[in-house]
Amino acid sequence: MYCYTCQSDEQHRRLTADEKSWLKNRTGRKTVEEFFMCTAPGCRNLRTGFQKHPFDPVIRVPLP
């Protein structure tokens, strides 16, 4: 999938349970199942399956 911050197609993965909890707190959303994280080194930018730029400014998942 295309990554907005890498400006290229990159691998993404679904969020772990801990990352989902973090994102719920961060955004106030009840569900975050639609989000994917870019796995390019140092990126960790979030997108959904449909939106490449769901947050402005972008939200990156913090390192554990």
CB of 37 to Zn ion, least distance (A): 9
Helix (H, G, I), strand (E, B) or coil at 44: coil
Residues forming contacts to Zn ion in the complex (CB under 5 A) are 3, 6, 10, 38, 40, 43, 45
Instruction: For Zn ion, give the closer residue by CB, 10 or 27.
Output: 10
- Smallest distance from Zn ion to CB 4, Å: 8
**Which lies closer to Zn ion via its Cβ, residue 29 or residue 52?**
52
H or E, element range at 23 = helix 17-27
> DSSP assignment, residue 22?
H
11 dihedral zone (left: phi>0; alpha: psi -120 to 50; beta)? beta
